[in-house]
Amino acid sequence: GKIRHYRWEVKYEYKSPDCYKKLVISINGRTPGPTIEAEQNDTVVVELKNSLLTENVAIHWHGIRQIGTPWFDGTEGVTQCPILPGDTFVYKFVVDRPGTYLYHAHYGMPREAGLYGLIRVALPPGVSEPFSYDYDRSIILNDWYHKSTYEQATGLSSIPFGWVGEPQSLLIHGKGSFNCSTPGIQSGLCNATNPECSPYVLTVVPGKTYRLRIASLTALSALSFQIEGHNMTVVETDGHYVEPFVVKNLFIYSGETYSVLITADQDPSRNYWAVTNVVSRNSTTPNGLAIFNYYPNHPKRSPPTVPPAGPVWNDVDSRLAQSLAIRARQGYIHPPPQTSDRVIVMLNTQNRINGHVRWSVNNVSFNLPHTPYLIALKHKLGHVFDQTPPPDGYDFVNYDIFIQQPNVNATFSNSIYRLAFNSTVDIILQNANTMNPNNSETHPWHLHGHDFWVMGHGEGKFDMYSDPQKYNLVDPIMKNTVAVQPYGWTAMRFRADNPGVWAFHCHIESHFYMGMGVVFEEGIDKVGELPTSIMGCGDTRGGTFHKP
Ligand code: C2O
Ligand code: CU
């Protein structure tokens, strides 16, 4: 493969992605940042200069498995120390599979300030996709807050709790439109005619077929995406080919990517709306709008119609139906192991711990140690984190997932799951009622360092005897991010075959911040010598591990 070299400078700038001016974090002046374009088996080198002045950073390459380079996963506290202001850090990794991936900040909450982008990995020349299209395009969907990430994070960790609330707008490829005449908006901060917030335009030639890669990096929202008057055929997700199916609207959760095929086969004399709307929360956030522009109509000409409304926010059945429709494409099936060596059931609950509102897995609310796990484990610094393993299950018999629980018995911990190398592990994510009555949320869980097979989804409490009988052992899709629906469960299977230490967490930024995550270790003895560039914090300060 070739070497793809990028030089990035990360810094704060004033921008108005939704017409409202605020501080954003940009890469080389842009948010979303530049798209990484590579071919399968290329080596990507990113020289990252942190010019944030007072803030640390680390970037995670979401969906890239980092085989042989677990130290470049970009997960602060897990695989590396943060990159200090003024420092330059070099990431170097191989993109071993074609598909659509993401990158984003993975330290505190700066992903929400705009530090994110796409990775597109093409097939090598001469190899073709199992579907055809004329052009390849991509967009990232996001939600957008006007408060700074500092204010949001401080609210989340305060007593009384300060919830971040619903986002102010939805962005389509970095552009949204907040209503500047909203009462209370300081004049001068919001300018509806600022070109930075003119709607994103996707121009198409009549009759042509487009592969549209759609990725979501929302902070909170689950989304529905549609293009007025056009069907979409789903063909890829998270780097794996999907047995094609047609949708009018696509549900997409934070951390997921999809490729859909769209043919520009409608009346070519006009433009159409592309719309995102929030699902799974009764949100006040207005829909995100972009223009699907038929060439040669003017790209800024508004479609003559009212943008289509999305599905109702609480229609869990349609969302579950889409999840169940996603199967591996015939001819590209990676059969899953038919049995597993270990089953871990993870009850997802909202909790109150010493007055703080937190999220927990089996009553353990996650927090990071000050010395990254990868370094602590490799250098046997046992005192760095709690060595008692977290529980493999919860009290299935007595815990009622359907009722509001006081949940005051959870604890904070930084302990981790240690997996036998090469073993097959099943994870069952069990959703439950939150601390509010009649409320259960949607959680998209993302696994670092692996793809997993999606074995099944179901409603209610997972039954250990009957539900595994319904697993898809034939053609399950492989993914790196999967949603768990309200009051439902999702079962996944993966092989612990990638030596390293890997985060597994809810991709909702505030949920992870509030403890909704775990860490897996596998094959630590097979991890090569760690680069000293990942050290410098906690017990690795002062070059403790520098080799002469
Ligand atoms: Cu895209 Cu650990 O996240
Ligand atoms: Cu969550």
The answer to whether the predicted template modeling score (pTM) of the entire model surpasses 0.80 is: yes
Q: What is the residue range of 505's domain?
A: 342-541
Q: For the chain, how long is the longest CA-to-CA vector?
A: 70
Please tell me what DSSP assigns to residue 337.
Answer: P
In terms of domains, do 197 and 81 share one?
no
Apex CA 305: angle with CA 302 and CA 311, to 5°? 115
CA dihedral sign of residues 463, 509, 139, 189: positive
Angle at 278 between CA 238 and CA 33, to 5 degrees: 50
460: left (phi over 0), alpha (psi -120 to 50) or beta: left
Looking at the CA of residue 254, tell me the nearest atom of ligand 1.
1
Residue 373 in any domain: the answer is: yes
Residue after which a domain boundary falls, among 80, 100, 123 = 123
**Would the CB of 319 count as within 6 Å of ligand 1?**
no
Is residue 488 assigned to a domain? yes
Nearest CA to 109 out of 61, 36, 165, 58 is that of 58
Whether residue 354 sits in one domain with residue 298 = no
Q: Is residue 401 part of a domain?
A: yes
Question: How much distance in Å is there from the Cα of 90 to the middle of ligand 2?
Answer: 31
Q: How far apart are the CA of 547 and the centre of ligand 2, in A? A: 41
Name the 3-class secondary structure at 249: strand
Looking at 123, 157, 173, the residue that finishes a domain is 123
Residues 312 and 171 in one domain: yes
Q: Tell me which residue has its CA closest to atom 1 in ligand 1.
A: 62
State residue 281's pLDDT score: 95
Query: What separation in Å is there between the alpha carbon of 29 and the centre of ligand 1?
Result: 23
Do residue 381 and residue 454 come from a single domain? Answer: yes
Co-location of 362 and 503 in the same domain: yes
Which stretches of 171-240 are DSSP H helices?
none
Span 227-254, pLDDT tens digits: 999 999 999 999 999 999 999 999 999 9
Tell me: do 60 and 114 sit in the same domain. yes
- Are 108 and 193 part of one and the same domain? no
pLDDT for 110 equals 79
Confidence at residue 547, expressed as pLDDT on a 0 to 100 scale: 37
Closest CA to 46 of 5, 3, 11, 79: 5
| Closest ligand 1 atom to Cα of 255 | 1
Q: What's the confidence (pLDDT) of residue 502?
A: 98
Amino acid identity, position 152: Q
Q: Which ligand is nearest to the CA of 254?
A: 1
Same domain, yes or no: 42 and 182? no
- For residue 217, the ligand 1 atom closest to its alpha carbon is 1
Ligand nearest to the CA of 513: 2
ipTM: 0.98
Shared domain check, 135 and 91: no
CATH code of the domain in which 109 resides: 2.60.40.420
Tell me whether residue 547 is in a domain. Answer: no
Report pLDDT for 85. 96
104 and 156 inside one domain: no
The predicted structure's pLDDT at residue 545 = 53
Q: Are residues 440 and 528 in the same domain?
A: yes
Q: Relative to the CA of 111, which ligand 1 atom is closest? A: 1
Regarding whether 140 and 116 lie in a shared domain, the answer is no
Judge whether 181 lies within some domain: yes
Q: How far is the CA of 516 from the centre of ligand 2 (A)?
A: 7
Per-residue pLDDT reduced to its tens digit, 179-217: 999 998 887 899 999 999 999 999 999 999 999 999 999
- Which one of 331, 363, 396 terminates a domain? 331
- Cα 218 to ligand 2 centroid, rounded to whole Å: 12
Using 50 as the pLDDT threshold, list the residues of the chain that sit under it. Answer: 546-548
Model pLDDT, residue 543: 55
79 belongs to a structural domain = yes
The ligand that comes nearest to the alpha carbon of residue 505 is 1
State if residue 446 touches ligand 1 by the CB under 6 angstroms criterion: yes
Tell me whether residue 546 is in a domain: no
Ligand 2 center from residue 320 Cα (angstroms): 17
Task: Tell me how far apart the alpha carbons of residues 446 and 432 are, in angstroms, rounded to a whole number.
Answer: 19
Ligand 1: atom nearest CA of 503 is 2
Residue 548 lies in a domain: no
Q: Which amino acid is at 484?
A: V
Overall domain count for the chain: 3
Q: Which helix (H) or strand (E) holds 61?
A: strand 59-62
Spatial CA neighbour of 34 closest among 95, 141, 118 = 118
Residue 540: the pLDDT is 85
